[in-house]
Structure 1
Amino acid sequence: MAKSVAGPEIEKLIQLLAKLPGLGPRSARRAALHLVKRREQLLSPLTAAMAEARDKIGVCSTCGNIDSRDPCTICTDHSRDQSTVVVVEDVADLWALERAKALNAAYHVLGGVLSPLEGVGPEDLTIRQLIDRVEAGGVKELVIAVNATVEGQTTAHYIMDRLEGLDVKVTRLAHGVPVGGELDYLDEGTLAAAMRSRTTL
């Protein structure tokens, strides 16, 4: 095993950075070195921002978004159609839809998808809270915007079963050919979904 040439403080920084998604040991070493070299411009402000995030940012008790307010900025925005709730797997999906400015609606973050193989059941997600929101009234449409994976579709079907008998319209994102996509480069599952979701011109 190679002996470390850095002190324990640097090694600890590298190990923590390596735990971030998308950063392996090599990328973490480069990031740590860059931060230390630019401690005044980067490391000090980053440390302050992380401490502020730790102290002020939490999870919205209504939708599951992260914000410094509870309820969050989206849930308290009266210009949004609060009767339409977009159901997503993760906060990152919520942010992606917000960047696309596709729908000015409310959200509900599930916190993942059902996955028996990984031991994730309904009680591990916020499905009960979603049903409670619908039962409380005011929600007219749920847009199921989960990923088009087996687990995502299983989760969508489970939610639809739990909503049976409730007065709410349930829709889902269309799946199929992306804008600018060429048929020859698409996989069979995407093509089949596009064909099933065909619309009138």
Structure 2
Amino acid sequence: MDAPGNIERLVELMARLPGLGPRSARRAVLHMLKKRGQVMAPLAQVLAEVAASARDCAICGNIGDADICPICRDERRANGEICVVENVADLWAMERGGAFRGRYHVLGGTLSALDSIGPEELRIPKLVQRVGDESAREVILALNATVDGQTTAHYIADVLGAAVKVTSLAQGVPIGGELDYLDDGTIGAALRARRGI
């Protein structure tokens, strides 16, 4: 039996979210309906508030509720290091780890000839400007180890040239990983990135 119109529409919209298919979306909607006061009403209110207040940081591209995000406002993080990431989810993942204490730059994607995404469609020109304006001493490329990610990394390194030190995250065997379960590319990258003990 199908749900009434508005409820079915809510299920359809929820199913568009990453990680939720139609069945998971239906379960989530039924749970929210069961707990309207504790879950659905507060969720609807917060969704409306975020929709009205969320904006991209004018400096780095992070998402927040002000024109300049807290990371860019924090003067302690103005240490000359800029970590370049593909999207905001990658920035948030880096922040969860707590290891990086500099500033970020969100590209908004990667170069892709097939999708007609060139440097101007991304925030690469803004990165080049920031490197000069902030007198950056290192740009860390934290891009995905995909063909498009590596193409983008090489392009950025070429554009920045000798103006700044350009590094990338190490790639290879994850902590707790077993060699038997890794693909050949990961093992090769780990071997090339080896270092002394």
TM normalised by structure 1 equals: 0.94
1:74 aligned counterpart, secondary structure? helix
Paired position in structure 1 for 2:186 = 190
CA distance in 2, matches of 1:186, 1:78: 41
Which secondary structure does the structure 2 equivalent of 1:115 belong to? coil
**Which runs of 4 or more aligned residues in structure 1 lie more than 2 Å from their structure 2 counterparts after TM superposition?**
none
For residues 48 and 150 of structure 1, the distance between their equivalents in structure 2, rounded to whole angstroms, comes to 41
Displacement of 1:165: 4.3
- 1:14 is matched with 11
Q: Give the counterpart letter for 1:136 in structure 2.
A: D
Where does residue 76 of structure 1 map in the other structure? 73
Q: How far apart in 1 are the matches of 2:128 and 2:76?
A: 24
Question: Which structure has greater helix proportion?
Answer: 2
1:153-168 → structure 2 map (5 Å cutoff): 153-166=150-163, 168=164
Amino acid at match of 2:117: V
Cα deviations across residues 92-145 of structure 1 (Å, max 9, x unaligned)? 111111111111110000111112122222222111110110122421110000
Gaps of 5+ in 2: none
Count of matched residue positions in the alignment of Structure 1 and Structure 2: 197
Q: Which residue of the other structure, out of 178, 181, 190, is the alignment partner of 2:177?
A: 181
Q: Write the mapping of 1:46-125 to structure 2, written as runs, cut at 5 A.
A: 46-125=43-122
Residue from 144, 147, 150 that aligns with 1:150? 147
- How far residue 83 of structure 1 moved from its aligned partner, in angstroms, is 1.0
Partner Cα distance (1:6, 1:37) in 2: 14
Root-mean-square deviation over aligned CA pairs: 1.2
| Code of the aligned partner of 2:195 | T
Identity between Structure 1 and Structure 2 (%): 54
Is the contact between residue 2 and residue 8 of structure 2 (CA under 8 Å) also seen in structure 1?
no
Name which of structure 1's ranges 61-70 and 80-89 shifts more when overlaid on structure 2.
80-89
Unpaired runs of 5+ in structure 1?
A: none
Paired with 1:176 and 1:39, the residues of 2 have a C-alpha distance of 46
Q: 2: CA distance between counterparts of 1:137 and 1:122?
A: 21
